[in-house]
Amino acid sequence: MSDKLFIFDTTLRDGEQVPGCQLNTIEKIEVAKSLEALGVDVIEAGFPVSSPGDFNSVVEISKAVTWPVICALTRAVEKDIEAAAEALKYAKQSRIHTGIGTSPYHILYKFNSTQEEILERAVACVKYAKKYVEDVEFYCEDAGRTDNVYLARVVEAVIKAGATVVNIPDTTGYCLPSEYGEKIKFLMENVNGVHQAVLSTHCHNDLGMATANTISGVMNGARQVEVTVNGIGERAGNTSLEEVAMILKSHKELNIDTNINTRKIYPVSRMVSGLMNMPVQPNKAIVGRNAFAHSSGIHQDGVLKNRESYEIIDPKDVGIDDNAIVLTARSGRAALKHRLAVLGVEVSQDKLDKVYENFLKLADKKKEIKDDDVLMLVGKDRDTQRIRLDYLQVTSGVGVKSVASVCLDIAGEKFEAASAGNGPVDAAIKAVKQIIRRQMTIQEFLIQAIDRGSDDVGKVHMQVMYNGVVYYGFAANTDIIAASVEAFIDAINKFVK
């Protein structure tokens, strides 16, 4: 019989910590419900003490989700644990995830403490969390750089104190796969009572080894993996859910099963990417746009003769429907609704009507509407913004000065300005600044094509600093100058009320 591996999804906690990826509570519920349908065992819904928004999201996700365990993160601090317990009170099954740093870096520099004191705090926080919930997970932060003998003492002590799961994070993504696997093996062989708890992996991807380390951990005895959709997460991200699920499905000899319904992987990946405004790199394993695209003649010929010559995964197994209906200006609402459903997005009739209207406008400019276009359209709800772009006119080219005229609609009143710049975007942004009159600077500015072709939609991600705080803006348009100005206005709407 095969062993069961628990999938612990932290897209809404570790994934959501990425600047610019923040979701509101409604969006988080949408993601949580999709994760439930995907078959994850545990959803880490947030860090309740960190903000009222995070607290509220844990409450609402607990109410909305039925099957997965809902988990909340804390530090080894009583007030954190109390906040987590309070936020989890509506969960059908709840878990508190508490812990502390165990590596010399954390003990000496972060806590100015000793191994013995940290061990005591670890035991105390597990006992405190046990007063509120039965299921307590303990994390040994920076376990990747923690000496194995000391780590084994901590793991043994927290299991004795009642921890049901012990998480061994490679917080900095430093370990080699062999080293991480050895660590799990060492704990499995040297911790008394290790079978009374589940060991969990939590690997970061700083050196591109998160998935390899996770699998190595599983091969050596870990029975829970902490992952995110599309591998999103701080810095280079976390282990990606879809990679682990498909490795275990492809390598039956490992004899390990998960509950993941792999056919839902692609829709969930698109949905998370769309909601978090986080593009998936085209060559990303399993869910990248090119993951199943054979471009060389030799490969195309081989695949046409027999798919398995060059493909180890059938795209249908991850929910990529290669017979997908192509949407064009002649497609009706039903086709659009069907495509949205395939992408994991349910819409009301009202919303569908609005999206369809924008769909027709886009289809007028672009021959084929792709999945990313549809997701962009469904997230586009600018009509409710206080400041809107009324019109934009630019003159630019080689040998002429770039100038722009802009009109903004601010709560129904029109304001116009014109400016020159070193290019059309610079001119237009300067004109907007003349109207808004605040000290704001663009920190990051990324223009990306959704698909390919000169008629493509350009997506713009922008970070704007105002009063020491960074605000995130996003827009998409077939005109990239308009998209840049709209992304700037999107960010401004977040601080000019």
Q: Which residues bind ligand KIV (CB under 6 A)?
A: 14, 139, 141, 167, 169, 171, 202, 204
User: Total residues at the site for Zn ion (CB under 5 A)?
Assistant: 1
We find the least distance from the C-beta atom of residue 452 to Zn ion, in angstroms, to be 34
Quick one: what does residue 141 bind among Zn ion, ligand KIV, none, with the CB cut-off 5 to 8 Å set by partner type? ligand KIV
We find the least distance from the C-beta atom of residue 238 to Zn ion, in angstroms, to be 6
Quick one: what does residue 55 bind among Zn ion, ligand KIV, none, with the CB cut-off 5 to 8 Å set by partner type? none
Q: Which is nearer to ligand KIV, 22 or 385 (CB)?
A: 22
Quick one: what does residue 461 bind among Zn ion, ligand KIV, none, with the CB cut-off 5 to 8 Å set by partner type? none
Taking the C-alpha atoms of residue 118 and residue 133, their distance in angstroms, rounded to an integer, is 22
Residue with tokens 């989890």: 88
We find the least distance from the C-beta atom of residue 347 to ligand KIV, in angstroms, to be 34
Segment interacting with Zn ion (CB under 5 A) among 10-18, 115-123, 257-265, 407-415: 10-18
We find the least distance from the C-beta atom of residue 410 to Zn ion, in angstroms, to be 41
x-marked contacts with Zn ion along 12-31 as a string, rule CB under 5 A: --x-----------------
Query: Residue number with the shortest CB distance to Zn ion?
Result: 14
Considering only residues 376 through 405, tell me which ones interact with Zn ion, judged by CB under 5 A. Answer: none
Q: Which is nearer to ligand KIV, 227 or 248 (CB)?
A: 227
* Environment class of 290 (CB within 10 Å of its CB; exposed 0-12, middle 13-18, buried 19+): exposed
Q: Which is nearer to Zn ion, 203 or 352 (CB)?
A: 203
Q: Are strands 224-227 and 6-9 parallel, antiparallel or unpaired?
A: parallel
Taking the C-alpha atoms of residue 135 and residue 214, their distance in angstroms, rounded to an integer, is 23
Give strand pairing partners of 96.
72, 136
Quick one: what does residue 139 bind among ligand KIV, Zn ion, none, with the CB cut-off 5 to 8 Å set by partner type? ligand KIV
We find the least distance from the C-beta atom of residue 14 to ligand KIV, in angstroms, to be 5
Segment interacting with Zn ion (CB under 5 A) among 6-14, 97-105, 173-181, 362-370: 6-14
We find the least distance from the C-beta atom of residue 188 to ligand KIV, in angstroms, to be 20
DSSP string for residues in 388-451: EEEEEEEE--TTS-EEEEEEEEETTEEEEEEEEESSHHHHHHHHHHHHH---EEEEEEEEEESS
Give strand pairing partners of 387.
410
We find the least distance from the C-beta atom of residue 96 to ligand KIV, in angstroms, to be 12
Taking the C-alpha atoms of residue 179 and residue 402, their distance in angstroms, rounded to an integer, is 57
Taking the C-alpha atoms of residue 164 and residue 126, their distance in angstroms, rounded to an integer, is 10
Quick one: what does residue 490 bind among Zn ion, ligand KIV, none, with the CB cut-off 5 to 8 Å set by partner type? none
We find the least distance from the C-beta atom of residue 75 to ligand KIV, in angstroms, to be 9
Residue 84's H or E segment, with its range, is: helix 78-87
Taking the C-alpha atoms of residue 402 and residue 399, their distance in angstroms, rounded to an integer, is 9
Q: Which is nearer to Zn ion, 14 or 242 (CB)?
A: 14
Segments in 251-327 forming alpha helices (H): 265-275, 297-305
Q: Which is nearer to ligand KIV, 137 or 486 (CB)?
A: 137
Q: Which is nearer to ligand KIV, 137 or 243 (CB)?
A: 137
Quick one: what does residue 471 bind among Zn ion, ligand KIV, none, with the CB cut-off 5 to 8 Å set by partner type? none
Quick one: what does residue 41 bind among ligand KIV, Zn ion, none, with the CB cut-off 5 to 8 Å set by partner type? none
Q: Which is nearer to ligand KIV, 169 or 421 (CB)?
A: 169
We find the least distance from the C-beta atom of residue 189 to ligand KIV, in angstroms, to be 23
Tell whether residue 44 is a contact of Zn ion (CB under 5 A).
Answer: no
| Centroid of chain to Cα 237 | 9
Q: Which is nearer to ligand KIV, 96 or 404 (CB)?
A: 96
Quick one: what does residue 28 bind among Zn ion, ligand KIV, none, with the CB cut-off 5 to 8 Å set by partner type? none
We find the least distance from the C-beta atom of residue 228 to ligand KIV, in angstroms, to be 11
- E-state strands within 20-110: 42-46, 69-73, 94-101
Cα atoms in the 13 Å half-sphere on the side-chain side of 476: 25
Q: How many residues does the chain have?
A: 497
Burial string for 102-112 (b: 16+ CB within 10 Å, else e) reads bbeebbeeeee
Taking the C-alpha atoms of residue 154 and residue 119, their distance in angstroms, rounded to an integer, is 6
Other Cβ atoms within 10 Å of 75 Cβ, number? 19
Taking the C-alpha atoms of residue 477 and residue 455, their distance in angstroms, rounded to an integer, is 10
User: Which residues are near Zn ion by CB under 5 A?
Assistant: 14
